[in-house]
A and B are shown apart, each in its own frame.
Chain A
Amino acid sequence: MRYIGIALMAVSAVGGGFLAAKRWRDRLDILCMFRQMIYHLKSRILYSNEPLPEALFEVGSRFSEGKTGSFAEPGKLFLAVAERARENRNLSFSVIWKEAVESIPKDCPLAAADRQNLSALGENLGYADRGMQERTLLFYLEQTDDAIAFLKKEADGRMKLYRSLGVAAGLFLFVLLV
């Protein structure tokens, strides 16, 4: 029984390392998804001249299809904003957007900086002319590209590090307790 307990602790330490590595990978994938969604949004606004609720709904529906867990969050965010913007027209768009960003679950692998960038995106959306929409979206894309570049650059090293640390912690526990 004792050995089973020790083995479980060691396995969970190894698993923790692998989970941390996966979280890193997922954050990268979710940011890539946000980038793709913003490109779609930009095209809907600039090409089809769609109002925000309509454009967000279309893009959100497209990107929430077949997605589960954290990967469904970007689509859900757009759909939630679209719905609230339609229903509560007397609320400002920035408030609706900010509240929706804040309601993204804590276990979604987005860093605080990612959430902050997302929140800032809503502050200027819908304001002024089409050119302003484009610049606002491009500014967010620039920030996201920087974050993605950093994550990609660090991905291999960090993922190896997290996994190795997990394995090392597991072995350490095993040696210590046996």
Chain B
Amino acid sequence: MDAGRVIDWLKKAVADADSVREIRIRAGRPVMVVQDGRERYLSFGGRLEQVSRRDASERQPGDAVIADQVLIKELLGMFSGHSLYAFEDEIRQGFLTIEGGHRVGLSGKVVLEGDGIRTMKDISGLNIRIARERPGCADAVLPWIYHDGEIQNTLFLSPPGAGKTTMLRDVVRQVSDGNRHGPGLSVSVVDERSEIGACVRGVPQCDLGMRTDVMDGCPKAVGMLMMIRSMAPRVVAVDEVGTKADLEALRDVMKCGCKILATVHGNAAEDLKRKPVLCEMVAEGMFSRYVVLSGVPAPGTIVGIYDEKFGQLHGAEWGKQACAT
């Protein structure tokens, strides 16, 4: 299957690119597009079709565009700008971030080296997650994450694909530019996976505000320390914290008097006490605000906003279950 043709069909099938959340390409299987919460397959000629029950039992509809490894290889070449070597470290982690901040998840055969992963070969599955900017999506959250005109250490919690990075991006923009709850502050973003700022040659493609500096592609723990030493930020923002090193770096950031905006994967507030590092963060009272998001009915839905003791500030009372720690 020729990548150019598949891209042309995808362009034809998806008139409103903004509504696409994911494109899934698996060798030997139909190309699937997740759009407006619905998963459909790409058919020849460039149409999106619903998988019928009969199709599901036959495993693949007759008119579906079936991906193969040649297509996947060509797409990877395109995504990497003919330079897969430049993404070695990311491939080792199972994904690569392409221009525009879109994340391409990979699956295939892993080549081991000792206890670690050397690389991934025979890549047979891609999950292209479309990054999006939603200016103003954080408007409902902002009143709750400021207290007496001061931004609070805030942790955004949601399952994958529920909009926490999009939310963080907009919070960063509004905190940086200033808003009706507080003045503009210098913000340092440590963008390990280039998803927040979608930097191209170091320059963020997404609007992160006029007082924002971005450290692109840098491991969070190292980047946070570099930023507080070099850029004197008032706020540090990071995506997907969760390791011991992140915790140590966050402690250092707080010691310097900086505020933290961070996100973490989790289905529910209870996840905070199940994950050892997060549990430690909660026990230390590192965050004064917890914003729980859901992908239902739409990404970015605010389930609830809680204070450091998991007292309900906004939304459902559900967070209280997690404060038993």
Contact = CB atoms under 8 A, between A and B. Distances in A.
Interface of A: 45, 49-54, 85-86, 89-90, 92-93, 96, 125-130, 132-133
Given A90-B74, A126-B77, A128-B84, 4 more contacts: A52-B82, A90-B2, A126-B83, A127-B84
B324 interface: no
B119 A129 contact: yes
Contacts of A130: 85, 88
Interface string B68-93: 00000010011011111110100000
B85 to A, nearest CB: 5
Interface residues of B, number: 17
B77 A54 contact: no
A51 B78 contact: no
Contacts of B53: none
Q: Nearest 5 CB-CB pairs, A to B?
A: A51-B83, A93-B82, A89-B78, A51-B81, A126-B82
Interface in B43-87: 74, 77-78, 80-86
B88 A52 contact: no
A90 B82 contact: no
Interface string B103-121: 0000000000000000100
B85 A85 contact: no
Given A129-B88, A129-B119, A51 B74 contact: no
Nearest to B119: A129
A128 to B, nearest CB: 7
5 contacts: A52-B81, A90-B3, A92-B77, A128-B85, A129-B119
A115 B84 CA distance: 26
B262 to A, nearest CB: 27
Nearest to A93: B82
Interface of B is mostly: helix
Interface of B: 2-4, 7, 74, 77-78, 80-86, 88, 119, 201
A118 B119 CA distance: 30
A96 B82 CA distance: 11
Nearest to B78: A89
Contact of A45 (B2, B85, B119): B85
A54 B7 CA distance: 24
A52 B78 contact: no
B82 to A, nearest CB: 4
Task: Specify which of A85, A90, A128 lies most central, judged by the most chain B CB atoms within 10 Å of its CB.
Answer: A90
Given A54-B201, A90-B3, A129-B119, A49 B81 contact: no
Contacts of A129: 84-85, 88, 119
Contacts of B3: 90
A92 B74 CA distance: 8
A111 B3 CA distance: 37
A92 B82 contact: yes
Nearest to A58: B201
Contacts of B85: 45, 126, 128-130, 132-133
Nearest to B217: A49
Nearest to A49: B86
Contacts of B84: 126-129
B88 A89 contact: no
Contacts of A127: 84
Task: Specify which of A96, A125, A129 lies most central, judged by the most chain B CB atoms within 10 Å of its CB.
Answer: A129
A173 B164 CA distance: 85
Nearest to A46: B85
A128 B73 CA distance: 12
A50 B200 CA distance: 12
A117 B74 CA distance: 26
A85 B88 contact: no
Task: Specify which of B78, B81, B84, B85 lies most central, judged by the most chain A CB atoms within 10 Å of its CB.
Answer: B85
